[in-house]
């Protein structure tokens, strides 16, 4: 699912920015759904803490979706209603790994989005996304910690994370 955009795409029009924000919104919907489900089905003493954290993530992802759809509306476009597909697994570790991979992709995209917003002079929009990005990086840290892995470096243009 990686290839929806070129990570180096820097100069975008406002229309293109709205399209990209709609991809972000689809990812936020995906995150809401997966955190709603995973937080409830993760069981066992080892996963109690992370299950609570995932419940908090679910609520934060909803906040993100609201902020992003407001920005799309501000750009004169219609917010999408379609989530990215949600992967499921019966294996707790695998669920957490899916979440971590999604957060990596989200972070990579929001970093691009901030640069694109700034290139367009949309500084307030960039600021909104920065606030979201802070929480996404917290999610990434929570998941990496629960999995006992290092926080992936997603600063490389493509595939810098897992996989
Ligand atoms: Fe989010
Ligand atoms: Fe997140």
**Mean pLDDT, residues 18-30:** 98
Quote the ligand 2 centre to 93 CA distance (angstroms).
17
pLDDT tens per residue, range 37-49: 999 999 888 898 9
State the pLDDT at residue 161: 41
CA distance 6 to 17: 13
pTM, two decimals, is 0.90
Q: Minimum-distance ligand to the CA of 103?
A: 2
Ligand 2 centroid – CA 30 distance (Å): 10
Contacts 24+ apart (CB under 8 A), 38-47: 38/95, 38/96, 38/99, 41/95, 42/92, 42/95, 42/96, 43/92, 44/92, 46/92, 47/92, 47/146
Dist CA 127 CA 133 (whole Å): 10
Reported as a single tens digit per residue, the pLDDT across 112-131 is 999 999 999 999 999 999 99
């Amino acid at each position: 699912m990686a290839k929806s955009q070129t990570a180096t795409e820097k100069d975008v029009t406002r229309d293109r920015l709205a399209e990209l924000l709609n991809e972000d919104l689809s990812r936020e919907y995906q995150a809401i759904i997966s955190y709603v489900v995973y937080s409830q089905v993760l069981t066992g003493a080892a996963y109690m803490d992370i299950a609570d954290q995932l419940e908090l993530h679910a609520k934060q992802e909803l906040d993100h979706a609201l902020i992003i759809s407001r920005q799309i509306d501000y750009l004169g476009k219609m917010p999408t209603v379609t989530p990215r597909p949600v992967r499921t697994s019966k294996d707790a570790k695998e669920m957490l790994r899916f979440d971590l991979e999604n957060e990596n992709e989200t972070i990579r995209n929001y970093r691009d989005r901030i640069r694109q917003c700034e290139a367009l002079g949309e500084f307030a929009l960039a600021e909104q996304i920065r606030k979201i990005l802070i929480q996404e990086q917290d999610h990434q840290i929570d998941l990496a910690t629960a999995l006992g892995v290092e926080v992936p470096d997603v600063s490389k243009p493509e595939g810098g994370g897992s996989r």
